[in-house]
Amino acid sequence: MPAATEYRYNRLTWPEINDAVAAQKLVILPTGSTEQHGAHLPLDVDVFLCESVCLEVGRRAPDKVLVLPPIAYGLNLHHIDFPGTIHIEPETFIAFCLNITKSVAYHGFKKILLVNGHGSNQPLIDLVARKTVLATESLCFATGYFLFLLEKFKEIRETEIIAHADEFETSLYLHLAPERVQMDKAVADNDRMGEFTSSDSTGNYPVRFNDFWGRWTRTGVHGDPTKATAEKGKIVFEAAVSGLVALVDELRAWPIEKRADMHKLPVQSQIRW
Ligand SMILES: [Zn+2]
């Protein structure tokens, strides 16, 4: 039955989607961006890396997941001084993604997972997941694929900063498509850092802040891509994929309890938020 072996959502027909709903496959939505990533990487880094990880999760668990076509655009106005970057307003992004998760829920899928590959989308997909839970009878979870490889990357990394077009992203791209990485153009760069604040809000700063990148970098890089290798990329790819495959099992088994109502008197259940 195709629904048991096909992991790409839009390769199924509508009768096969009925089978996939009956099997309660977890539906994955990858989210990325079209954004400058220094002079050495193409604009598709965030969406290409994220989708590649999600599709490999699908290949390894084809009976458990369906991967939707990715969102290739995100919140990016802070990168707009660099040619090619596409920006989507956060409200538009949230509304667009929510329409997708609600459609998936409408068809009967009970578990949805948003897997993000673009840092600035992270607070937005958190909201999409929460709004989906509150508006539907399905459960929607949000994560970033990079969260599943950090521990492994700590063992092999040569530089401190994990941010943008850096050692990590460049390594992963080198593993997946080395012919598209121009390592001769890779340079290291850093953001502006104070005691409590940094201009790219990366790391453990207590203040969240993201300045226009045109104010503090001329390269568009945050981190050191010159230390990137395909070998490191292979290790972190494996870590991300195996972590997410384990997450799939956890989420598919997550119970959807009946809500208990603690009111003594009738509530105004017609109210809609
Ligand atoms: Zn990136």
Question: What separation in Å is there between the alpha carbon of 123 and the centre of ligand 1?
Answer: 15
**Beta carbons within 8 Å of 13's beta carbon, 6+ residues apart:** 2
Predicted local confidence at residue 273, as pLDDT: 84
Residue among 241, 254, 250 nearest 67 (CA): 241
Which tens digits make up the pLDDT trace of 26-49? 999 999 999 999 999 999 999 999
Predicted local confidence at residue 201, as pLDDT: 79
Predicted local confidence at residue 170, as pLDDT: 98
User: Per the structure block, which two tokens stand in for 253?
Assistant: 């088994």
* Domain spanning 2-253: CATH superfamily: Creatininase (3.40.50.10310)
Predicted local confidence at residue 202, as pLDDT: 74
Which tens digits make up the pLDDT trace of 136-170? 999 999 999 999 999 999 999 999 999 999 999 99
Name residue 73's beta-bridge partners. none
Question: What separation in Å is there between the alpha carbon of 136 and the centre of ligand 1?
Answer: 31
Three-class HEC string of 5-66: HCCEHHHCCHHHHHHHHHCCCEEEEEECCCCCECCCECCCHHHHHHHHHHHHHHHHCCCCEE
pLDDT under 70: residue ranges of the chain: none
SS3 content of the chain, % helix, strand, coil (to 5): 45, 10, 40
CA distances from 36 to 79, 161, 218, 234, 265 (A): 7, 18, 12, 23, 56
Question: What separation in Å is there between the alpha carbon of 83 and the centre of ligand 1?
Answer: 15
Predicted local confidence at residue 55, as pLDDT: 98
Predicted local confidence at residue 176, as pLDDT: 98
Quote the Cα angle for 107-112-118, to 5°.
130
Q: Which residues sit with Cβ closer than 5 angstroms to ligand 1, an ion? A: 45-46
User: Per the structure block, which two tokens stand in for 207?
Assistant: 């203040």
Question: What separation in Å is there between the alpha carbon of 1 and the centre of ligand 1?
Answer: 37
Q: How far apart are CA 39 and CA 152, in angstroms?
A: 27
